[in-house]
Each structure stands twice: as structure tokens, then as C-alpha cells.
Amino acid sequence: MPEHAPIKPIRTAVFPVAGMGTRFLPATKAIPKEMLPIIDRPLIQYAVDEAREAGIEQLVFVTGRGKTAIVEHFDHAFELEATMRNRSKTLEILEPTRIEPGNLVTVRQQVPLGLGHAIWCARAIVGNEPFAIFLPDELMIGEPGCMRQMVDAYSHVGGNLISVLEVPYDEVSSYGVIAPGARREVPGATLTEVTGLVEKPKVDKAPSNLIVSGRYILQPEVMNVLKTQETGAGGEIQLTDAMAQMIGNQPFHAVTFAGKRYDCGSKVGFVEATVALALARPDMADDVRALLKRLLEAG
């Protein structure tokens, strides 16, 4: 993308939700992992709410077999709503689950070939426009939200952006890691030039301890790269490898997220997110704090 090209707004977000959720079996045998609740909202709802806060209009779910509950969650539930009205119960609690007709699109990833392949499956919907990517396993809590921070930064620099967080070096082999270049300040954010990307490097080979944290804004040219992308780590088509090929051809920056990340792809991270968000809610914080105290004292 030429430096002088106009910066197109981010209107579309892709949510890869085709995974089988094997780390949460047997709970995910019949229920999509993305529908497991953090307190009273399914995990996917947090990601959708974050996208809406960032002004994103069109939501693309890349799904697989057994994932229909995700789409149904965002559909109108006529019987439920009618029953609630008859019982004089407010429908306000269901408002976040409503998506305007035409703003939710689903495509199938028929073969589990990795994150890069899942994103490529959305190519016809994305078209020739920049787009966002949300990995729902990564629960990002901040004010404003992670994608809002990224969209605001994108409005100043354009190109490609990824969200990063700093982790201990002994954890880098579990993530995509950036090779950092020059730092730059824009209103509301600190940007780091991305000079390279490595997927799940060994600790002694990691170029930094800044990990890619599940939020991306990418230009549509990445689809052309993914079309011919060879398999990488884990025998899968890695999005990180495709992005690495774009570095040097288009502006590429990392946004250091000002907020908290919870890795809900792991059981411990899922529990941490549930406890942390419960403690942040005025309607239940005191009760949860007392409960935790009793449990800890009981040993």
C-alpha cells in the first residue's frame, strides 16, 4: 500500500471459530468453546461487543461442523422474547445478542488447516477492503477496548497493525513474536515498527518478548499471500508466516495494548478471567471476594 494512499476505514471483522475446543472436553463435545460463559456472557459475545465498540459493522464467523449455536446466539429468539414480554420482564439483557440483518455472515472452514487458512476462507466477504481479526480465545479487557485502541491508531498510520503484549521470555515459545523496530507515539497509543514475525520460536531464538495477542488489522493483500502459503509450525497454514511476507511491502506496526488479556484457550486462564471479571462487577464483587476468602481459608 503506497504511503500516500488514503486510509480506508475498518468495517469488517473476521472471527475464526471453527476449532474443536479439545482442551475443554467433554464440555465442548456438543457446545462450541466460544459459547462457554464467562459469568453470564459467552466468550464470543465479549469479542463481538469489542468489535462494535470499535465501529465495525460487518461480522464474519468462520465456522465448522457443530458451531450453529454461535449463529443462533445472535439470532432473534422469538419464543423466549415472547415469554419474557408476557411475564413483564425486560428484554434489555438480550440487546447485545442482536445483530442487524445482513451484518452477520458465516463461511465454513471445511478442513482444519490452521488460522491462516481460516482467514483465507473469508476472502470473498472481505474483498478489497482492510479488515480486523478477533481470536475469541483472547479475552481483552480495557477502556477503551483493544480494537478501539487499534482502530484509533490505524487512523494515523494505516497499513497493518497487530496488538502485542510483553510476557516473560520463558513463555514466548507459545506465541507469535515480533522483531521490534522504531517506536512511535500517536494520540492514545504507543506503536512499535514490526520488522519481523516468528511463530512459536524457541526461547533462545526469540527476537523479543512482545507477543501477538489475538487482534489484527490487515490489508486485503494478505489473502493473496495466504492463497499460496505453505504449511508452517504444527503443519498448519500460519497467519504469522503470511504477515511476515508483507513486512517491508506495507507499513506494519504493533500496538501495545493498554489493558488486561486473559488466555481463555486454557482452563486456568478461563478460570482467571471468570474470577477477575466477577471481582470487577459491583453486583457480585463483595460476594465473590467473600467466597474466595472462605475457599482459601478452608485450604
Q: 21-44: string of b/e by CB count within 10 Å (b at 16+)?
A: beebeeebeeebbbbbebeeebbb
Q: Under CATH, which number does the domain 12-265 receive?
A: 3.90.550.10
pLDDT by position in tens, the chain (length 299): 445 568 899 999 999 999 888 999 999 999 999 999 999 999 999 999 999 999 999 999 999 888 899 999 998 888 888 998 988 888 888 888 888 888 999 999 988 888 999 999 999 999 999 999 999 999 999 999 999 999 999 999 999 999 999 889 988 888 889 999 999 888 888 899 999 988 888 888 899 999 999 999 999 999 999 988 776 666 678 888 888 888 988 899 999 998 999 999 999 999 999 999 999 999 999 999 999 999 999 87
In the chain, where the domains are located: 12-265, 266-299
pTM (two decimals) = 0.91
Model pLDDT for residues 75-117, shown as the tens digit of each residue:
888 888 899 898 888 888 888 888 888 899 999 998 888 899 9
Q: How far is Cα 217 from Cα 161, in angstroms, rounded to an integer?
A: 5
Model pLDDT for residues 210-244, shown as the tens digit of each residue:
999 999 999 999 999 998 877 666 667 888 888 88
